[in-house]
């Protein structure tokens, strides 16, 4: 069994000041001949490859944060972090770093980073001149403290010195106690100074200070200080919001007090960053990088702790799918999972993979199948959001689940059919939910993401499943609306839905070839679609035309013979003639269709000439139909090709 004390994740800070996960492995400290010194080595637990090789430099500033993190910079704009599974492992490596640098392991930072622009001046200063001496923590000295904090922000060296001074002798806690005094006395001047002090301390960007400020007994006082912005006439009411308006709901009681505390802390710190603090200027944007990292690692820890608590998640799933669960309770449970999934999007790919695999193993997809079919609109909407996270994470995982369903359930309650029906029955006038669901269906039926080497038959098996069990459900509204021209429904919301369905079918024509071709022929689908050329909604007529254009674009003689036999150009040409000389998008799209056919689709050219030339020769505002009858006849081609000439082939059914 591997040593979990030494198990770490390696992170690097990217250009967007976000931490990228470089992998999980085991860390050791050893002498590396090539680097001429003791170095930190991390080997991947998966294959033993080297994730990190970093010499412990005597002059590098290493920081220990949150008991399980060691952070340092190796070069300009290249920050590294080791996140340990256990505190003991972090302490062990920290002691080794301090030993190499000759530092006391009790420190949380081994060096005072020096900005290059100040290094020369720093060396010339007397030893005492670069120490920051804080005034006594008294009410009468708040203005002096505020001026000091504000003055150091432009100097990296003085920021470091001030941070060290603030961490000594419980200075921050004493300051926050003064806040309570000022508020009791309604001392607005003192409260305004405390706002400047706390804001400035946050911009010092020091994890050790954050640990104090964001602890349970301090964080609400920090929020209180930040309510008294001197630029505002009246103070904000952030504490009132956090304590009264923002309610923490436990859908299932969380027994782990550390986890509950971490959730509260993360929410409040995120609130401070997103709501209370002003948007940092271009000069300040790096001042809060450690705050961003603090929130990030908290979220990683929360997701990990929830994943590991199988009893908690199992109970959530059990109540979610239990018919006896009250509607209000089920709504809360679904919203919990929605937030949980949204939370996971901040994680790095490996963390996210582990998260969704845990949900899959616990049965998230069967649970969604149940709740997506419920009448409660809020539950269905939240379930759709969860489903979208799962499809985005792994379309193959969703496909694998749905292909197993026909053995266990009726066609009507198959997960994909539930999704299709929800799309069809969307009550939103703008069809916002239907658009989202259509995008998810498109992802699931896209062969481009069916290339998993582990399952080479996935494409064939899934498309066969989809066309056998689901395609007829998808096309129900289309077939119902196109029985004949008189039955062509022109209700705007219906037209929008039909346009969405046609968009998906057009995608199928381009990407599914055999399956969709068989379906179109068997259902005479193109004829039904072309009924929509008569719609008063131009966007729907264009969708119908686009569907035909994509079919013709396949240059498939089976399709061509089907179009000729069914005389399917008639509704298109009627629309062109009805449009007259009006220059619009529909007119241009029809002209483009015939221009494409003129290039080299001989069987269709012959059919058009034989059946529609008289109607088309009168169109003179474009050159498309001029000389169409003079299109080269195949009689001049070689004898072996003569039998295949479209002009010599008898017209099929007219």
Please state the domain extents for the chain.
Answer: 4-101
pLDDT at 1 over 90: no
Least confident of 258-272, 369-383, 631-645: 631-645
Q: Quick one: pLDDT at residue 641? A: 44
pLDDT at 644 over 50: no
Distances (CA, A) of 327 to 319, 397, 433, 600: 11, 29, 21, 61
Spatial separation of the C-alpha atoms in residues 601 and 69, rounded to whole Å: 67
| Residue range 11-28: mean pLDDT, rounded | 82
* Torsion angles phi and psi, residue 131, rounded to 5: -95, 140
Is residue 567 helix, strand or coil? Answer: coil
**Both tokens assigned to 225:** 């200080």
Pairing of strands 50-55, 63-65: unpaired
Distances (CA, A) of 131 to 43, 93, 277, 412: 41, 29, 29, 75
Spatial separation of the C-alpha atoms in residues 579 and 577, rounded to whole Å: 5
Q: Quick one: pLDDT at residue 297? A: 84
Q: Tell me the per-residue pLDDT of 346-402, one tens digit each, with 9 for 90 and over.
A: 777 777 888 888 888 888 898 888 888 888 888 888 999 999 999 988 898 899 888
Max CA distance (Å), the chain? 108
Distances (CA, A) of 237 to 186, 220, 222, 587, 642: 15, 12, 13, 60, 87
pLDDT at 642 over 60: no
pLDDT at 195 over 90: yes
Spatial separation of the C-alpha atoms in residues 225 and 191, rounded to whole Å: 7
Is residue 84 helix, strand or coil? Answer: strand
Comparing C-alpha atoms, which of 287, 207, 343 is closest to residue 279?
A: 287
Least confident of 152-156, 252-256, 552-556: 152-156
Residues 6+ apart with CB under 8 A from 175: 137, 145, 194, 197, 198
pTM of the model: 0.67
- Report yes or no: 232 and 290 within 8 Å, Cβ to Cβ: no
Q: Tell me the per-residue pLDDT of 173-191, one tens digit each, with 9 for 90 and over.
A: 999 999 999 999 999 999 9
Q: Quick one: pLDDT at residue 117? A: 45
Spatial separation of the C-alpha atoms in residues 498 and 529, rounded to whole Å: 10
Residues 6+ apart with CB under 8 A from 598: 605, 624, 628, 631
Residues 6+ apart with CB under 8 A from 408: none
To 5 degrees, how large is the angle CA 429–CA 433–CA 434? 85
Spatial separation of the C-alpha atoms in residues 497 and 209, rounded to whole Å: 55
Spatial separation of the C-alpha atoms in residues 63 and 290, rounded to whole Å: 11
Residues 6+ apart with CB under 8 A from 50: 41, 42, 43, 44
Confidence band, pLDDT 50/70/90 cuts, at residue 619: confident
Domain at 4-101: CATH architecture:
Roll (2.30)
Q: Where are the alpha helices (DSSP H) in 276-323?
A: 289-308, 310-321
Q: Is 64 left (phi over 0), alpha (psi -120 to 50) or beta?
A: beta
Distances (CA, A) of 297 to 285, 346, 522, 570: 19, 10, 56, 64
Confidence band, pLDDT 50/70/90 cuts, at residue 311: confident
Q: Tell me the per-residue pLDDT of 402-440, one tens digit each, with 9 for 90 and over.
A: 888 766 556 667 889 999 999 998 888 888 889 999 999
DSSP β-bridge partners for residue 36: none
- Report yes or no: 71 and 5 within 8 Å, Cβ to Cβ: no
* DSSP structural state of residue 31: E
To 5 degrees, how large is the angle CA 35–CA 41–CA 44? 140
Q: Quick one: pLDDT at residue 299? A: 82
Confidence band, pLDDT 50/70/90 cuts, at residue 633: low
Mean model confidence pLDDT for the chain: 83
Q: Tell me the per-residue pLDDT of 485-543, one tens digit each, with 9 for 90 and over.
A: 665 556 888 999 999 999 999 999 999 989 999 999 999 999 999 999 988 899 999 99
Distances (CA, A) of 367 to 61, 376, 444: 50, 15, 19
Q: Tell me the per-residue pLDDT of 91-139, one tens digit each, with 9 for 90 and over.
A: 999 988 988 888 888 887 777 654 444 444 444 433 334 457 889 999 9
- Report yes or no: 48 and 118 within 8 Å, Cβ to Cβ: no
Confidence band, pLDDT 50/70/90 cuts, at residue 221: very high
Residues 6+ apart with CB under 8 A from 264: 216, 248
Confidence band, pLDDT 50/70/90 cuts, at residue 552: very high
Exposure string over 173-203, b if 16+ CB within 10 A, otherwise e: eebbebbeebbeeebeebbbbbbbbbbbbbb
Q: Quick one: pLDDT at residue 426? A: 86
Residues 6+ apart with CB under 8 A from 84: 5, 6, 7, 8, 27, 68, 69, 70, 90, 93
Comparing C-alpha atoms, which of 37, 44, 29, 31 is closest to residue 89?
A: 29
Q: What is the dihedral sign for C-alpha 490, 496, 497, 501?
A: positive
| Residue range 607-628: mean pLDDT, rounded | 82
Question: Which is higher by pLDDT, 30 or 506?
Answer: 506
Q: Indicate the length of the chain as a whole number.
A: 654
| Residue range 188-199: mean pLDDT, rounded | 94
**Both tokens assigned to 335:** 């919203």
């Amino acid at each position: 069994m591997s040593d979990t004390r030494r198990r770490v994740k390696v992170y690097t800070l990217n250009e967007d000041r976000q931490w990228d996960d470089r992998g999980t492995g085991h860390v050791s400290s050893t002498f590396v001949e090539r680097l001429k010194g003791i170095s930190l080595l991390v080997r991947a637990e998966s294959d033993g490859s080297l994730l990190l090789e970093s010499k412990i430099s005597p002059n590098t500033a290493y920081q220990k944060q949150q008991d399980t993190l060691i952070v340092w910079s190796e070069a300009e704009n290249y920050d590294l972090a080791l996140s340990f599974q256990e505190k003991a492992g972090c302490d062990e490596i920290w002691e080794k770093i301090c030993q190499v640098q000759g530092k006391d392991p009790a420190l949380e930072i081994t060096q005072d980073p020096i900005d290059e622009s100040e290094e020369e001046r720093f060396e010339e200063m007397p030893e005492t001149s670069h120490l920051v001496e804080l005034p006594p923590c008294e009410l009468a000295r708040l203005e002096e403290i505020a001026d000091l904090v504000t003055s150091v922000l432009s100097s990296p060296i003085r920021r470091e010195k001030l941070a060290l001074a603030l961490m000594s002798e419980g200075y921050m806690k004493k300051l926050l106690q003064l806040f309570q005094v000022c508020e009791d006395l309604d001392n607005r001047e003192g409260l305004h100074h405390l706002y400047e002090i706390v804001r400035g301390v946050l911009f010092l960007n020091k994890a050790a200070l954050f640990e104090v400020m964001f602890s349970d007994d301090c964080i609400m006082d920090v929020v209180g200080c930040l309510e008294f912005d001197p630029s505002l006439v009246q103070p904000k009411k952030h504490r009132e919001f956090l304590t009264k308006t923002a309610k923490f709901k436990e859908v299932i009681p969380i027994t782990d007090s550390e986890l509950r505390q971490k959730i509260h802390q993360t929410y409040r710190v995120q609130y401070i960053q997103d709501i209370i603090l002003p948007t940092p200027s271009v000069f300040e944007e790096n001042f809060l990088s450690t705050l961003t990292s603090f929130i990030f690692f908290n979220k990683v820890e929360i997701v990990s702790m929830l994943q590991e608590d199988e009893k908690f998640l199992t109970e959530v799933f059990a109540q979610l799918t239990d018919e006896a669960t009250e509607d209000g309770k089920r709504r809360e449970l679904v919203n919990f999972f929605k937030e949980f999934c949204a939370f996971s999007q901040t994680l790095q790919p490996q963390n996210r993979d582990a998260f969704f695999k845990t949900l899959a193993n616990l049965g998230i997809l069967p649970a969604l199948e149940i709740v997506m079919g419920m009448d409660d609109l809020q539950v269905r909407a939240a379930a759709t959001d969860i489903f979208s996270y799962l499809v985005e994470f792994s379309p193959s995982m969703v496909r694998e689940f749905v292909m197993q369903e026909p053995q266990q359930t009726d066609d009507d309650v198959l997960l994909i059919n539930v999704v299709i029906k929800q799309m069809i029955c969307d009550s939103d006038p703008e069809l916002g939910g239907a658009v989202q669901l259509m995008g998810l269906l498109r992802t699931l039926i896209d062969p481009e993401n069916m290339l998993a080497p582990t399952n080479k038959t996935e494409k064939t098996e899934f498309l066969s499943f989809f066309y056998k069990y689901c395609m007829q459900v998808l096309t129900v509204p289309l077939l119902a609306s196109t029985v004949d021209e008189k039955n062509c429904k022109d209700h705007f919301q219906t037209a929008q839905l039909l346009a969405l369905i046609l968009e998906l079918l057009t995608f199928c024509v381009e990407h599914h070839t055999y399956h969709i071709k068989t379906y179109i022929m068997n259902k005479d689908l193109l004829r039904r679609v072309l009924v929509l050329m008569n719609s008063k909604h131009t966007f729907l007529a264009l969708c119908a035309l686009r569907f035909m254009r994509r079919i013709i674009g396949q240059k498939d003689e089976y399709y061509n013979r089907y179009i000729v036999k069914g005389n399917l150009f008639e509704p298109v040409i009627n629309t062109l003639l009805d449009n007259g000389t009006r220059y619009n998008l529909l007119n241009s799209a029809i002209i483009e269709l015939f221009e494409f056919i003129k290039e080299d689709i001989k069987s269709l050219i012959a059919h058009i000439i034989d059946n529609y030339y008289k109607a088309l020769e009168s169109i003179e505002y474009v050159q498309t139909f001029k000389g169409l009858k003079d299109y080269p006849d195949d009689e001049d081609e070689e004898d072996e090709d003569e039998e295949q000439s479209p002009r010599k082939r008898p017209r099929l059914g007219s």
